[in-house]
Chain A
Amino acid sequence: MRKLLLSALTAAALALLPQSAAQAAKEEVVLGLSQDRVAITATFDGSEILIFGAVKREAPIPTDEPLEVIVAVSGPAPSVMVRRKEKKLGIWVNVDSVLVDSAPAFYAVATSAPFAQVLNDTEDLRYRVSIRRAIRSVGAAMHIRGAQAFADAVMRIRERNGLYSLRENTVAVDQQTLFRTAIEMPADLTEGDYQTRIFLTRGGEVVSSYETTIDVRKVGLERFLFSLSREQPFLYGLMSLAIAIAAGWGASAAFSLLRNR
C-alpha cells in the first residue's frame, strides 16, 4: 500500500517537473564557494566553508511569497550496518541488524527560515533534503518490523557526533537576491566528493536548484601514507615494524646512556 502511494507521488512529481523547469528559468542560482576543495593535512582540525551566491532573474521579483534558500552539503554515502542490542540470558547482545542502504558520512542542512516553512513534505520527499530523507533503507522494511527505529538510530548517533546537523535560520538572504551561509565541517571527515545542493523555494515549493561538489581529499603525508598502505601493503607493514623496532631500540639506547652518565 505504502509503495503504491509512493509511486503515485513519484508520478505526480514527474508530472510537475516541466512546470518547475519553467520556473527555474525565471530564477537561477549564481554560486560562489570560499573553497571548492578541502585539503586534509596532518594537522587538519575541521574546516568552515563559506557558501554565497545571488539569484539571477529576468522577470521582476515575484511578490506573493518570500524567497527562501536551503543549502545541503552531503558527504559520501556508503551503506551502514545497524545493530540492536537486547538482554539475553542476563547479558546485552546484538539480536538483530538492518542494512541501511545509504547514509551519508556527513550531512548538513542550512535554511533561511524554520525547515517546515521553507520546504513542504512533498518537495522534501522528492529532493531528499531533510536528514530523515537523506538516509535510505529500502530493503529493510520488508523483513524487520520497526526498521525506522534503525534509521533513527543512525540519525541520533551521528547527530550526537556532530556529523549530521540541521541549522535553521543560518542562511542570510538579502533583498531576495543575495544569500550567504557558512557550513562547518568537523575534524573527523571522510574523503570523497561532498555534494552541495542549493534550493530556492517559495511557499514551500522548490523553484530552482543548483548542484556542485566540494572535493575533500587527503594531501601531503596523509595522502602518501594512505596510498602506500593500499598499494604497497607489504612494504607499509614492514615500514611500520621497522619504525617500531627502531623506536624500541632508540629508547632503550637513550636510557642506558642516561643511566651510565
Chain B
Amino acid sequence: MQIYLPIAEVSVNAFLLLGLGGMVGVLSGMFGVGGGFLMTPLLFFIGIPPAVAVATEANQIVASSFSGVLAHFRRRTVDIKMGLVLQAGGLMGAALGVVVFNYLKALGQVDLLVKLCYVVFLGVVGGLMFIESLNAIRKSKKAGGAAPAPRRQRGWVHALPFKMRFRTSGLYISVIPPVLVGVCVGILAAIMGVGGGFIMVPAMIYILGMPTKVVVGTSLFQIILVTGFTTMLHATTNYTVDIVLAVLLLVGGVIGAQIGTRIGVYLKAEQLRILLALMVIAVCAKLGLDLLLQPAELFSLGDAGGH
C-alpha cells in the first residue's frame, strides 16, 4: 500500500516502513540503542530527503525508547539518578554540537564530516567492544562460567571530587565523568543526528563501570529527553518532521522494542555486547566503503537553500 508523506513529499510503501520500524525497534529494545544510526541511512536509501529523515528519526526514537524504557522500569533496571546526570551533560553537549555543526556547515563539506564521524566512531566503538566481549567470553569459558572479573578498577575515575551514590548501579563515584560522557555524546548526537546510544552504552560500561543490565535501561531513559529536544528543534526551525512517516515507523518500532527487550533478557551480557559490536562494525564498513569506492553517480542534487 503506497502512502504519500506530506512533508517529505514522496510516496512510499507503508508496509516497508512498518517493517523497517519493527526491525530497528527489536534492536533498540535489545541493546538500548535508539537505532538511529541504522534507521537514518536506511531512510536515505529508500528515497526520503536526508533533512526529513534525520528529523523524523529523532521523533521515532522517542517512541521506541519510551516503549523500551517502560519495560526496563518494571524490571527496575533504570538508574534514574545516573540518567538525569547524563542528561544534564547531554543537553549541554547537544547545544554545543549544534554550534559546531553550524560552523562546519558554513565551511562546507558537512556531509563528509558526518560520514567520517560515523566511520571513525562506529569503527572504534565496535572494534573495542568486539575484542573485549570475545575476551570476556573466553575467560568465562575457562573459569567454567563462574567468577566474573572484578567489577571495576579503582582508577582515575575514583580520585575525582563531588562523589555521588548511584544506588541502582551500585556505584559511588564523582559526577564529573558522567557529565563529561553526557557532553561528549550530546555533541556527537547533534552532529551525527542520532540518539547516541551506541556510544553511550560502551561509555557507561567501560568508563563508568556500570553493570550491563542497568546500562540498557538508563541509556534508553536519557535518549528520550535528548531526542525529544532534537525533535522540537527540527520541527520549529527546519519544518522537517514528517508526522505520517514517524507514525508508520514508530508503530513498527514500539512493537519491535517490546519484543527486543524480551529477547534481551534471555541473552548473556557478553553475547548482547558482541552482537551489538558486530552490528556497529557492519554499518561502519558499509559507510566506509561508500567513501572509498567510486560512486555510480558522481553528481548529486541538493536544495539551493541548504548547505
Q: Residues of A at under 8 Å CB distance from B? A: 40-46, 78-87, 90-94, 99, 149-150, 153-154, 156-158, 187-191, 218, 221-223, 225-226, 229-230, 233-234, 236-241, 243-245, 247-253, 255-256
Contact = CB atoms under 8 A, between A and B. Distances in A.
Contacts of A252: 66-67, 70-71, 254, 258
B299 interface: yes
B254 A42 contact: no
Contacts of A44: 2, 4, 11
Interface residues of B, number: 60
B9 to A, nearest CB: 6
Contacts of B258: 251-252, 255
14 contacts: A44-B4, A81-B303, A86-B298, A90-B292, A94-B111, A188-B11, A223-B6, A226-B6, A233-B236, A243-B63, A244-B62, A251-B67, A252-B254, A252-B258
Contacts of B62: 241, 244-245, 248
Interface in B267-298: 290-295, 297-298
A191 B8 CA distance: 12
Nearest to B70: A252
B176 interface: no
Interface in B229-243: 231-232, 234-237, 239, 241, 243
Contact of B9 (A154, A156, A190): A190
B223 to A, nearest CB: 12
A51 to B, nearest CB: 23
Interface of B: 1-4, 6-7, 9-11, 47, 59-60, 62-68, 70-71, 74, 108-109, 111-112, 228, 231-232, 234-237, 239, 241, 243-244, 246-247, 250-251, 254-255, 257-258, 290-295, 297-304, 306
A244 B74 contact: no
Contact of A87 (B10, B232, B294, B301): B294
Contacts of A41: 4
Given A84-B299, A237-B241, A256-B74, A248 B235 contact: no
Contacts of A253: 70
Contacts of B293: 92
Nearest to A150: B299
A66 B303 CA distance: 43
Nearest to A253: B70
B112 A154 contact: no
Nearest to B63: A244
A221 to B, nearest CB: 8
A90 B300 CA distance: 19
B87 to A, nearest CB: 16
Contact of B235 (A99, A229, A243): A229
Contact of A222 (B6, B63, B237, B298): B6
B306 A81 contact: yes
B292 to A, nearest CB: 6
A234 B232 CA distance: 7
In this complex, the member of B6, B59, B68, B300 whose beta carbon has the largest number of chain A beta carbons within 10 angstroms is B6
